[in-house]
Structure 1
Amino acid sequence: MAVYGIGTDVCDLRRIARVLERKGDRFAHKTLGPSEWLVFQHRRARETSRGLAYLGSRFSAKESFSKAIGLGMRMPMTWRACEILNHPSGQPYIRLHGALAEWFSQQGLQAHVTLSDESDYTVSFVVVETQAPPP
């Protein structure tokens, strides 16, 4: 395997909170995929700050992913086509949908993501690798 791209992002949760105040759930709906939306609602219902941290971490990870694949936020990369989910162990992973999933597969890529958050910030790091050719 070889590194195809690396992306990182730091997100100020206070900025995300201000956007939510102005735009309400429209921002979250635009940013989150269907599975992420369910987790966001659940976490926010338990504690507002947990929902905010979840939304911020997903926003940050998608920014990192878009940088690592070299597309930025242009087609086929869209907010909702890229979901950052968690395995039962808690390890985050990236699930792609539609044209983005097709493009990513055609390129022979695989992605690794990590997330971390503190009281006012989340940070994400994504490494995208080319898959090894078959022997």
Structure 2
Amino acid sequence: MIHGIGTDICDIRRIRASLERHGDRFAQKILSEGELAVWRRRSSRWPERGVRYLATRFSAKEAFSKAIGLGMRLPMHWRLCEIANRPSGEPMIVLHGGLKDWFDAQGLTAHITVTDESEYAASFCVVERWPPMHD
């Protein structure tokens, strides 16, 4: 049973401007430890890849927060939600701390997709309740 659906589109130029204004502090606010390591590797080789990576993660976390129905209020927190990749490259959501505890207690599972093109990053998230609750 579908619990919620979330989508987000992010202007990559806005993410680039935030990085220019706030430097690494902006990425550290948005990214988990694992994501920060990937962002630093990508940014050191090709800065634009780092910006796009950060934009897709920002967008995916926004879409996820909408799908779970919390927006950006606790237990939802940027750094407790990680967008990782399976060996196939498929994106997946890995939760940490209180957000993971809350999510698991609700019996939820999430599916996420991300894309970027030109000046935009977009994400779509479907959250299901499992097993389905019966009335």
User: Normalization by structure 1: what TM-score?
Assistant: 0.96
Tell me which amino acid in the other structure corresponds to 1:9: D
2:64 is aligned with 1:77? no
For 1:31-84, what per-residue CA distance to the aligned partner results, in whole angstroms no more than 9, with x for missing partners?
000000000001111111100000000000000000000000000000000000
Identify the residue that residue 28 of structure 1 maps to in structure 2. 27
State the distance in 2 between where 1:129 and 1:89 align: 22
Q: Note the aligned Cα RMSD (angstroms).
A: 0.7
Residue segments in structure 1 that go unaligned for 5+ positions in a row = none
State the distance in 2 between where 1:48 and 1:121 align: 16
What percentage of residue pairs aligned between the two structures are identical? 60
Identify the residue that residue 87 of structure 1 maps to in structure 2. 86
Tell me which amino acid in the other structure corresponds to 2:81: C
- SS of aligned partner of 2:10: strand
Tell me the CA shift for residue 93 of structure 1: 0.2
Tell me the CA shift for residue 10 of structure 1: 0.2
Tell me the CA shift for residue 5 of structure 1: 0.2
Residue segments in structure 2 that go unaligned for 5+ positions in a row = none
Q: How many correspondences in the alignment?
A: 132
Tell me which amino acid in the other structure corresponds to 1:127: V
Tell me the CA shift for residue 132 of structure 1: 2.0
- SS of aligned partner of 1:40: helix
Query: Which structure 2 residues correspond to residues 25-64 of structure 1 after superposition, within 5 A?
Result: 25-64=24-63
2:104 is aligned with 1:105? yes
Task: Give runs of ≥4 in structure 1 deviating > 2 Å.
Answer: none
- SS of aligned partner of 1:114: strand
Identify the residue that residue 17 of structure 2 maps to in structure 1. 18
User: Normalization by structure 2: what TM-score?
Assistant: 0.96
State the distance in 2 between where 1:83 and 1:62 align: 8
Identify the residue that residue 114 of structure 2 maps to in structure 1. 115
